[in-house]
Amino acid sequence: MPATRAVRIASFGEPTEVVTTAEVPTPEAGPGEVVVRMRVRPVNPSDLSLVRGRYGQLPPLPATPGLEGVGVVESVGAGAEAVALGARVVPIGVMGTWSERVVAPAAQLVPVPDDVDDDTAAQLVVNPLTAWVMLTEVLDVQPGEWLLHDAAASTLGRVVLQLARARGFRTINVVRRADQVDELRALGADEVVVSEGEGLEERVRAITGGAGVAKAMDAVGGELGARMADCLAPTGTLVVYGLLSREPIPLDARRIIFGGTTVRGFWLTQWMTQSPPAHVAEAMGIVLRLMAEGTVAPPVEARYGLDQVHEAVAHAERPGRSGKVLLVG
């Protein structure tokens, strides 16, 4: 079998400086495993965090990045014969998806319905599943409640808007630039606040009649994360799930002590390993159904081949994107 193309890093660092495309030995399926010929893989902030050496779980070097994607089963190992050749699947918990082929345990494959296209299925886990779990389990946002979230123009932020329409909760959407306001309103945002130059806490208090919000999600950290915490009502909760600013959150301990507020983290990998497998499968099934119905449709802005990975990672960090950058082929 010919060699397999894969994106490789020999050291951690800035993505445009350390990623390259190379040929690697074609993987073979062992007992209970399959080889998946990957078709589409997103470039997520978590992937770029891994490339920089800042992710919660780092591979030995040299390594292939990539934490999700979609492909077809190309070969099966002993004991995995029940998996059909050619089946379209999403491998779960498999690192290294920025490659033409990956090996995955047969038990960690999620079949993709025919009415979910590749670009959508490739994004099942990192954004839609994360949004679903945070909204329905961690925060339990109910119809009519306000949710405050930043990075609202990101792919995950747009999925939050899609789920808000479906589930009937209201959103206060924090963005960095004024030119994103009208677009988010057109997507169903109830309120949009520009973080640069606006008094975030004052706006949130005005929107909520002085109460603040009981539930909030932060993808940025740093100073904005602290401002998000300041918007919480007494006993409110801020869930921090991203590190876009690459800065620590300077929290005001008085807010936490005297307001009884909670600031907690969420990492999908940890949720998946600590939750019963049947529960994880159920959540993925729900998200796939929402995708099949068109309720959840993660936007796509650009598609690049594996050999164009430098251009892809640079594009993925471009301000003002309206959708995900994908690696295809």
Range of the domain at 156: 128-269
Instruction: Decide if pLDDT at 320 tops 90.
Output: no
The pTM score is 0.91
Residue 252 lies in a domain: yes
112 and 59 in a common domain: yes
172 and 81 in a common domain: no
Amino acid at position 5, single letter: R
106 and 29 in a common domain: yes
Residue 89 lies in a domain: yes
More confident residue, 226 or 255: 226
Name the least confident of 39-48, 127-136, 196-205, 267-276: 196-205
The pLDDT tens digits for 230-253 are 999 999 999 999 989 989 999 999
Burial 232-264 (b: 16+ CB within 10 A, else e): bbeebbbbbbbbbbeeebeeeeebeeebebebe
Residue 274 lies in a domain: no
CA atoms of 190 and 203, how far apart (whole Å) = 13
Amino acid at position 213, single letter: V
**Residue 319: per-residue pLDDT:** 85
**Residue 1: per-residue pLDDT:** 59
Give Cβ neighbours of residue 61 (< 8 Å, ≥ 6 apart). Answer: 9, 10, 11, 12
More confident residue, 13 or 321: 13
Give one DSSP letter per residue of 132-150, joined into a string.
HHIIIIIS-PPTT-EEEES
Instruction: Decide if pLDDT at 258 tops 70.
Output: yes
263 and 132 in a common domain: yes
108 and 135 in a common domain: no
CA atoms of 187 and 189, how far apart (whole Å) = 6
Q: Which residues pair with 266 in a beta bridge?
A: none
198 confidence band (pLDDT: 50, 70, 90): confident
Residue 292 lies in a domain: no
Q: Which residues pair with 304 in a beta bridge?
A: 327
Residue 220 lies in a domain: yes
95 and 145 in a common domain: no
194 and 112 in a common domain: no
116 and 133 in a common domain: no
Amino acid at position 3, single letter: A
Residue 285 lies in a domain: no
- The domain boundary, picked from 269, 286, 306, lies at 269
% of the chain residues with pLDDT over 90: 93
Number of Cβ atoms within 10 Å of the Cβ of 186: 8
Residue 276 lies in a domain: no
Where residue 165 sits, what CATH number does that domain have? 3.40.50.720
The total of structural domains in the chain comes to 2
**Residue 255: per-residue pLDDT:** 86
Look at residues 51, 47, 46, 96 and name the one whose alpha carbon lies nearest to residue 71: 96
Cis peptide before 277 (omega within 30 of 0): no
214 confidence band (pLDDT: 50, 70, 90): very high
Instruction: Decide if pLDDT at 167 tops 90.
Output: yes
Q: Which residues pair with 5 in a beta bridge?
A: 23
**Residue 322: per-residue pLDDT:** 86
CA atoms of 188 and 169, how far apart (whole Å) = 11
Where residue 79 sits, what CATH number does that domain have? 3.90.180.10
**Measured between alpha carbons, how far is residue 55 from residues 58, 127, 131, 311 in Å?**
6, 16, 19, 22
96 and 19 in a common domain: yes
140 and 211 in a common domain: yes
142 and 254 in a common domain: yes
174 and 95 in a common domain: no
Per-residue pLDDT averaged across 134-143, rounded? 98
Residue 165 lies in a domain: yes
Look at residues 228, 229, 278, 271 and name the one whose alpha carbon lies nearest to residue 254: 229
